[in-house]
Amino acid sequence: MTSTQDRSSAPGTPDAVPAAPTGRAGGEVQGGPGGPTSAAARARTGAGRRLLARARAARLPRDLHPVAWWVWALGLATAASLTTNPFALLLLVGSAALVVSARHGDQPWSRSFRFYLALGAAIVALRVTFRVLLGGAYATGPVLLDLPSIPLPGFAAGIALLGPVTTSTVLSGLYDGLRLAAIVIAVGAANALANPKRLLRSVPAALYEVGTALVVAVTVLPQLAESVQRVRAAQSLRSGPSGRVRGLRRLLVPVLEDALERSLAMAASMDARGYGRTAGADARSRRRTGALMLTGLVGVCVGVYAVLDQTAPRVLALPMLGVGLLAAVLGLRAAGARVPRTRYRPDRWRWPEVVVALGGLAVGVLAWHTSTHQVALAYPGTDALPGLAPGALVVCVVAVLTGLVAPPPPVTGDDA
């Protein structure tokens, strides 16, 4: 006897169950190859592939936006300024060094980080030296070295030259020096990671003169480092006096000459391209721009003062600060309209730039929270071994992870 399933599957039996209808009469098959479900799946797959391709393209070797690196580095500098804990400061310096070693390029200005490390070590040594020379009057704790005190005239009351060198004197100088050195090294990390020429392009049009001065100021040390490397490479190809004085003269004079020639060449090229020329503006627009800038300056100053002074009226705090910032932004926008600019291949912000910049902001906020709620660990004394707050570890982990999110830099093959 044939079962119902056998009869339904047999094509010639009268009791065969007809196949499911297709087409308009029977409706679309929701799971079929030509149905709307498959089309939606293909659309989702295509969108996912496009997002994956964009994510992979963002991770290709390229230069990160310089503003993102500077926000990240300023977050580290802010964290360093909010503590004198030597272990936290050393962790911040190590975080900056780790990110620089993993994400610096092969351009000459990318090799300037070691000079900032040397400058930081010199700052610590000078800070301790000056504290030993001038801190004898307020020395407390065990005496390490008993130096004679030199009396000073009456107009220098409160300052003692030499005197007993104690552990508190040395440690306080060491802590303050480490804090200043960490701030300098954070700025050096930004100089080693961010392209200074691209940073100049990111400055608003209204601040092109200030931006030029800032770029020149922050790139002095990288340019000197590049000049030193070029001069040393040239001198290694020919013999010459190797003494300290003569060798220094052979190195110093070409370095200064090279820096001067490059500055003159840069000025000539900028003048040839019409850099700094402004479009014509009538007196009314100039007065409006000046009034907005002055209002913004006064509003920001009054607002910041009211925020810091708890006795000031609250209407002068955040409301005045907001009005001042709004007026300053409008003034900068009006002033920038007088400076026509063209951009070739403008720098775009992608998700690595956003992550790096947010990481810098998070580092600053976490450091502020730690310094506010754990004052004893953020500002330790000199009478005991300082402890390390868990927030300091979180700050360093966030700084390293967000810094390593940046794509690897491109390799130009320039070993000069």
pLDDT of residue 1: 42
Dump pLDDT digits (tens) for 280-298.
Answer: 566 777 788 778 888 888 8
What percentage of residues in the chain have a pLDDT greater than 90?
Answer: 17
pLDDT of residue 126: 93
DSSP calls for 280-292 = ---HHHHHHHHHH
Average pLDDT over residues 20-40: 49
Looking at per-residue confidence, does 90 or 51 come out higher? 90
Q: Which amino acid is at 321?
A: L
User: Which residues 6+ apart lie within 8 Å of 247 measured at CB?
Assistant: 240, 241
Looking at per-residue confidence, does 58 or 314 come out higher? 314
The verdict on pTM exceeding 0.85 is no
Give the end-to-end CA distance of the chain in Å, rounded to a whole number: 92
pLDDT of residue 218: 63
pLDDT of residue 20: 45
What's the whole-number average pLDDT of the chain? 75
pLDDT of residue 40: 63
φ/ψ of residue 184, rounded to 5: -65, -40
Dump pLDDT digits (tens) for 313-366.
Answer: 877 778 888 888 888 888 877 776 666 666 666 677 888 889 999 999 999 999
What's the angle, vertex CA 78, arms to CA 75 and CA 84, rounded to 5?
Answer: 135
pLDDT exceeds cutoff 60 at 8 = no
Task: Give the residue extent of every domain in the chain.
Answer: 61-275+284-338+352-404
pLDDT of residue 95: 93
pLDDT of residue 130: 86
Question: Reduced to 3 states, what is the DSSP secondary structure of residue 412?
Answer: coil
- Beta-bridge partners for 161: 150
pLDDT exceeds cutoff 50 at 216 = yes
d(CA 35, CA 12): 30
Dump pLDDT digits (tens) for 98-133.
Answer: 999 988 877 767 777 888 999 999 999 999 888 888
Identify the weakest region by mean pLDDT among 60-64, 154-158, 198-202, 310-314: 154-158
**Which stretches of 104-145 are DSSP H helices?**
113-134
pLDDT of residue 306: 82
